Amino acid sequence: MVKDIKGYLFNLIIYTAEKRRSDYFEQIVHPLIEKFPSRVIHIQCGKEELSHTGIEPCGHASERLMLFSSPENLSKIPFIVLPRLVPDLPVYLLWGDDLTAENPILPKLEKLATRLIFDTESTANLQTFAQKMLNKVETLNTEFMDISWAEIAGWRDVIAQVFNTKSQLDYLRQCNYIHIKYNQLQDEYINHDSVQAIYLQGWLAAQLEWTFKTIEEIDGEHHIEYHGRKVVLTPQKRRTLNPGIIFEISCIDDRNLKTTLTFADQQSKVMIYISTPDHCDVPYSLQLQAMQTGATAMKEMFYFRPSHHYRKMLQTIGKIPWRNF
């Protein structure tokens, strides 16, 4: 029997179907449940080694219950979860599997959730995911947040600050080449390290009203052609950064006016360089609000809402046949 502890702020349900995803989400939520009293219910669906349904209280400041289930017993899980939720508190559902794939308990848990939080790491086909998510967000009756979208919030804010006048927006709109570099460093948690770069270029293309034409993969780079525009996504290793982190964005127009945004990770700032072949402006910096664990992560994932920009980004990347994803 699970003891009652007063003073909770929210309920948190975590669902994972892979060991690496369980470890990843434990890493994310650990600072949250240590700092903010909550009831956490972690559902792990496995095969032979987890071929039972059971409850395991764990010794955290918050109360964490572990529910282990085989795929055959998964349909029983919602009946175990419901009576263990603290009434009259928000219920956050952290979904660690492909949100667009069929799962017998997802609809039931969605009905319990105040907010649905997910990412694209367990997705096998990003184009299909984007297309299905467009339909899903139209019918969701709960708030939601895509972690991959939250992770590029800092870069979206920096770009909005750099190109914040009509002339600067006109320059960005007329750029014929955009180059995005990201950290190609996979680890035991992350397999798809290109997601943040794909999302950011999709957001830019959607906001600039560019129309997709072709894509090809050349030496590990994504070369994306929009009508009259080209975007290149380049993976490079930066061992001081987390996998997939964007660390440089360059924009060039037909006058060879180049604007480069470079992440200075030691200072959590972005340096902005503006130059032509004959002239270079004095560089300046802007703060990059990167999503970290703890209070910032809680604010990004648990309180922020995706705007219509998210839907437009999905529309853009949903038209592109991504390879090796």
Helix 308-317 with 195-207: angle, nearest 10 deg: 110
**pLDDT confidence tier of residue 220, bands split at 50, 70 and 90:** very high
pLDDT at 60 over 80: no
3-class DSSP state for residue 122? coil
Residues 6+ apart with CB under 8 A from 240: 265
- For 324, phi then psi, to 5°, come to 55, 40
User: Which domains does the chain show, CATH number per domain?
Assistant: 10-118 (3.40.50), 151-291+298-317 (3.30.360)
Q: What mean pLDDT is reported for the chain?
A: 88
β-pair type (246-252, 229-236): unpaired
d(CA 95, CA 175): 38
Specify which residues 251 forms β-bridges with. Answer: 178, 259
Q: Are 18 and 46 in contact (CB under 8 A)?
A: no
- The model's confidence at residue 294, banded by pLDDT at 50, 70 and 90, is very low
- The model's pLDDT over 77-117, given as tens digits with 9 standing for 90+, comes to 999 999 999 999 999 999 999 999 999 999 999 999 999 99
8 A C-beta contact, residue 4 and residue 83: no
Question: Locate tokens 């270029």: which residue?
Answer: 201
Residue that has been written with the tokens 């790491």 in this structure: 121
- Tell me which of 46-55, 159-168, 251-260 is least confident: 46-55
| Distance in angstroms (rounded) separating the CA atoms of residues 184 and 236 | 5
pLDDT greater at residue 191 or residue 1: 191
pTM for this entry? 0.91
- How far is Cα 292 from Cα 298, in angstroms, rounded to an integer? 9
Would strands 115-118 and 91-96 be described as parallel, antiparallel, or unpaired? parallel
Residue 54 to residues 16, 32, 44, 135, 212, Cα–Cα distance (Å): 15, 24, 10, 35, 49
- Give CA angle at 238 (234, 239), nearest 5°: 150
